[in-house]
Structure 1
């Protein structure tokens, strides 16, 4: 069966913080605010309203406007083209169970899968045809921290599903690489729906992997790249670079020259960045969504408070 990679591994700080955030941030009671009917119409900034867990939307050109807040509750959210994905923890489950909800342009449910674990990352490929996710789990013998991950993918056009992906034929320093602690995370696809980039984590190191989805193989390009996000023009990667334990610097990598540019955001960012366009990078930090120029200039700009998991409609 055709496989795709997506998994997450990290430090004890990263894993513990992500699990704590997801469990604490998900609301336990219904909110009294009437639900708005949202669609994936163009020109919107959608995000998770942290206080309620509901998906909200504001005009991309006026993010300070009063948001429309839907009835859809998610712990992670992402969109591309006419497809969205919502990861939502099932209340009261222990160990945690996450619903992976695939949605259409009207945010109507197209498909749902239930997987063991706590949400970590969610994305949709630029063509809207692949939905992928990562959850934290416990119990793998190689995971000294007690945490590991499971990742999966759903092919919107065919209905094909891979609930867990543990293997990728990958080369590091020109040689095939296998190890029991290998994990991959931060998958990001090119516009062709085949070329992708990911982080490989193993033996305390991380590598940027360039992969071929059809052939299911990849190669390491460089070290110390986490949560890559490919620019719309396919030429650059926004990523978080580890500075020290639990501290990351948001940066952009030019794939042609391998030149690395630290962005103007100097605070630690533990998120998979999102490109608003070829010039601006969005990210979640401190229960708010921020924007920063992709060329290292300027300064961070807060777009929306009480927000996480930004998503932009074209």
Structure 2
């Protein structure tokens, strides 16, 4: 198992290197000179002399490879520069907004688990019945509706029409219900269908037939044997969803005025606050990579057959 984890860690090196290069290149590919953006946001006339001085201060006149090396050194020391708008350290501002986004994401993940797993099990147990048809209909609707539209619909029904839940902001548990359900709905639909399919496939295996010949009940076979094998591909998709929800919360946060990283990064994009955008892209990419690593390790623990070289 140690060798398996070590090889996974080694494989991350070229991935992280590629991520750093792409993130750094974002600043070089923008159509506007960052020095000019910096001056405009500082409400300083962007004269040629001012632009030249600012480029020198920001290190934009150095060769690209020197800029990249210096940027990587700063990243390793957790220095992502300062925001063009607020002049505060970028990482400090992102960490200020991250708790709200993490709270929303974790709540959504809990909803995904407690909704999708029972629905998938019921659909598999009662295949082609009204229970299965309702589950498939819900999954189809959840996968086909965009999150911003779902959010607006929920706001109209539960906030404006019946005045049951707050329409925006962060505060009590009530403020979490609508945005977390909106964020979770697409994943609930995906996992319900995926888990139902893998459950039904595993029901065709020989060990299920053997269990039936022993007189075991269908529910016992499913929960004790089939579910363990069927959940493995879902774990992989679930690991991807954690990163997707963190990044995908941008739309939901703006619909519900949730004070998280999503709203902050949208503001940074409109203002062309490039240090903030660079930091956000790099952090989210690293989160995706690390979550995939954790999923690989967990997969190796649950199913030793996939470990590289059969190492324990």
Looking at secondary structure, tell me which structure has more strand per residue: 1
Relative contact order, higher structure (CA 8 A, sep 6+): 2
Higher helix share: 2
TM-score by length of 2: 0.22
